Amino acid sequence: GQNIDQPTEMTATEGAIVQINCTYQTSGFNGLFWYQQHAGEAPTFLSYNVLDGLEEKGRFSSFLSRSKGYSYLHLKELQMKDSASYLCAVMDSNYQLIWGAGTKLIIKP
């Protein structure tokens, strides 16, 4: 079966860094997405990795290792507004998104 695993909840301090891991097992791979979702809102796109390596975008960066079925989302200089759920999703061989359950990130002052 297809499976995406990510931690349920993480806590970090304002100004610090945090890394959210995601492991996956899917039928085929056409890229991995990270989305941010604030409570009561739709997900917003953060990053897309299809090749191994690191993609950096401001305070956020995402890493992919296809051989290990592993990705992480790295957030630095955390701000209170970063408190949200972070969803990992893999696009399978049919170009369908397989979603993880999301990681709720709590930022403390």
Partner 1 sequence: GAVVSQHPSWVICKSGTSVKIECRSLDFQATTMFWYRQFPKQSLMLMATSNEGSKATYEQGVEKDKFLINHASLTLSTLTVTSAHPEDSSFYICSARSDSGRFSYEQYFGPGTRLTVT
Give the length of the chain: 109
The count of chain residues that interact with partner 1, using the rule CB under 8 A, is: 20
Nearest distance from residue 84's CB to partner 1, in Å? 13
* 29 is an interface residue for partner 1 by CB under 8 A: no
Contact 72, 60 (CB under 8 A): no
Q: Does 83 bind partner 1 (CB under 8 A)?
A: no
Report the C-alpha gap between 84 and 98 in whole angstroms.
Answer: 20
Q: Does 58 bind partner 1 (CB under 8 A)?
A: no
Nearer to partner 1, 41 or 56 (CB): 41
Measured CA to CA, the distance from residue 15 to residue 107 in angstroms comes to 9
Report the amino acid identity of residue 54. Answer: L
User: In 3-state terms, what secondary structure has residue 90?
Assistant: strand
Assess 69 for contact with partner 1 (CB under 8 A): no
Q: Would you tell me which residues interact with partner 1 (CB under 8 A)?
A: 30-31, 33, 35, 40-45, 48, 87, 91, 95-97, 99-102
